[in-house]
């Protein structure tokens, strides 16, 4: 390819990537260990996603997807955590990409400072290939289908009993606000991530956010024991789905990118999907003084929830937990981003975006304009949904 690789920046713009793009010689050496993938002919495209280097590669057997991680972000053990979950979902009827293995059965290959994985191109069309998180669906049908796919994933995951992932960068866990004592849990989280614990500004931002989010934790606290632990995707944005075609009526055909997956619960995962697709956070990043102008696409929200419940009906407790969970679910991803920016990229400037703009800024928005824009509508949805069920 002649065009230079670009990555999604923190403000939504395209920027120079943090990681060097894949080269054909590099891919050739990798695929020599995976003869079934075929000899590479050309690199077709560079992924704009910022945390790794990835490309669609044309081989003599067809097109495949090659992804390279820094070993400090994902070693082989970390990737295998994801691959086992994907293989379970695939075996239980969820369309996820097949993962290529070496002749000795390894699906994660460590070479020097890098760790590689190779996936098949899943069925369907990568319609949202260039879309970044926090941009909305293109139609109500897309939102409904995303909800249906998420519910199918959750149903398949019920029988997957692996423990939570080990502490590592870029994993969207849910432990701080899953605790009855979030301050103590936050301290434990920071202690498990020394780069965060040793950064004074990160610690200040964490405790600012803890105060802002306290009312939401108080609301969900009694509901937490009823939220069944479950391995979840934690990043079901439209760009992590493949689609049947490019029309507004297209349906989701496959799920990709399980890098943030961990053992959380279904409501946390639904809240993450709402956070990724329904609220246009980039508007807040660009103009934090006008939070009342941040769009929240409630029509897409109701379509996504309706689609979800067509496949898996939420309990009354789960529905009641969704509003406060929406305010809480992003906290640990903001922190794991800060861990990545400080510990891997060594960029305090980017870490401040994660802890100040994302962690604290989102918490302030939910306590302010977001309360009326989306938190109260979700509370009313939970109440009226139960009333409708009783009436029926």
* pLDDT beyond 50 at 219: yes
Looking at the fold, whether 26 and 113 belong to one and the same domain comes out as: yes
Hey, how many other C-beta atoms are within 10 angstroms of the C-beta on 349? 9
Paired tokens of 54? 């990835």
In this structure, what token pair is assigned to residue 290? 């006008």
Among 86, 120, 154, the domain-final residue is: 120
pLDDT of residue 120: 96
Position 139 scores a pLDDT of 98
List Cβ neighbours of 54 (8 Å cut-off, separation of 6 or more): 22, 46, 47, 65, 66, 67, 68
Percent of the chain scoring above 90 in pLDDT: 89
Range of the domain at 80: 7-120
What are 343-363's pLDDT values in tens digits?
999 999 999 999 999 999 999
CA distance 351 to 199: 10
pLDDT digits 0-9 by tens, 147-186: 999 999 999 999 999 999 998 899 999 999 999 999 999 9
Torsion-angle region of residue 135: left (phi > 0), alpha (psi -120 to 50) or beta?
beta
Query: What's the CA gap between 283 and 272, in Å, rounded?
Result: 18
- Report if residue 50 sits inside a domain: yes
Q: What's the CATH code of the domain at 307?
A: 3.90.1200.10
Query: 151 and 78, same structural domain?
Result: no
> 112: domain CATH number?
3.30.200.20
* Count of other CB atoms within 10 angstroms of residue 12: 16
Are 178 and 321 members of one domain? yes
**How high is the mean pLDDT of the chain?**
94
Using CA atoms, how far residue 70 sits from 66, 104, 120, 179, in Å, is: 14, 23, 21, 32
pLDDT in tens, 61-88: 999 999 999 999 999 999 999 999 999 9
Same domain, 173 and 84: no
The two beta strands, 14-15 and 53-59, are unpaired
Predicted pLDDT of residue 4 = 63
Q: Does residue 312 have a pLDDT over 60?
A: yes
Least confident of 65-74, 147-156, 244-253, 279-288: 279-288
Residue 391 has what pLDDT? 40
pLDDT at 3 over 90: no
Going by pLDDT thresholds of 50, 70 and 90, the confidence category of residue 390 is very low
* Distance in angstroms (rounded) separating the CA atoms of residues 87 and 24: 28
C-alpha–C-alpha distance, residues 359 and 254, integer Å? 30
């Amino acid at each position: 390819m002649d065009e230079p690789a670009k990555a999604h920046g923190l403000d939504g713009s395209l920027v120079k990537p943090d990681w060097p793009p894949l080269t054909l010689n590099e891919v050739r050496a990798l695929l020599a260990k995976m003869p079934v993938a075929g000899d590479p002919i050309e690199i077709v495209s560079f992924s704009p996603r910022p945390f790794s280097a990835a490309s669609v590669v044309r081989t003599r057997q067809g097109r495949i997807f090659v992804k390279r991680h820094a070993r400090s972000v994902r070693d082989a053990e970390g990737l295998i955590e994801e691959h086992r979950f994907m293989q379970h979902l695939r075996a239980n009827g969820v369309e996820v990409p097949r993962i290529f293995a070496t002749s000795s059965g390894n699906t994660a290959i460590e070479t020097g400072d890098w760790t590689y994985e190779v996936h098949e191109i899943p069925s369907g069309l990568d319609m949202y290939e260039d879309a970044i998180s926090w941009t909305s669906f293109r139609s109500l049908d897309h939102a409904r289908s995303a909800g249906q796919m998420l519910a199918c994933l959750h149903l398949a995951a019920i029988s997957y009993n692996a423990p939570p992932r080990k502490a590592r960068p870029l994993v969207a866990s849910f432990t701080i606000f899953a605790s009855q004592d979030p301050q103590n849990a936050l301290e434990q989280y920071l202690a498990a991530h020394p780069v965060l614990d040793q950064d004074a500004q990160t610690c200040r931002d964490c405790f600012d956010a803890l105060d802002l989010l306290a009312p939401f934790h108080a609301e969900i606290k009694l509901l937490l024991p009823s939220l069944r632990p479950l391995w979840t995707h934690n990043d079901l944005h439209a760009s992590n789905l493949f689609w049947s075609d490019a029309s507004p009526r297209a349906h989701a055909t496959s799920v990709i990118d399980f890098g943030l997956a961990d053992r959380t619960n279904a409501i946390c995962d639904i809240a993450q999907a709402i956070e990724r697709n329904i609220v246009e956070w980039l508007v807040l990043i660009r103009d934090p003084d006008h939070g009342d102008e941040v769009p929240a696409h409630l029509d897409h929200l109701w379509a996504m929830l309706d689609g979800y419940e067509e496949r898996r009906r939420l309990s009354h407790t789960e529905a009641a937990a969704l509003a406060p969970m929406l305010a809480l679910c992003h906290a640990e991803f903001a922190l794991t981003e800060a861990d990545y920016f400080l510990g891997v990229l060594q960029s305090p400037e980017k870490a401040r975006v994660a802890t100040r703009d994302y962690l604290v800024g989102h918490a302030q928005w939910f306590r302010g304009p977001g309360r009326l824009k989306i938190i109260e509508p979700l509370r009313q949805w939970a109440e009226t949904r139960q009333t409708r069920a009783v009436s029926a």
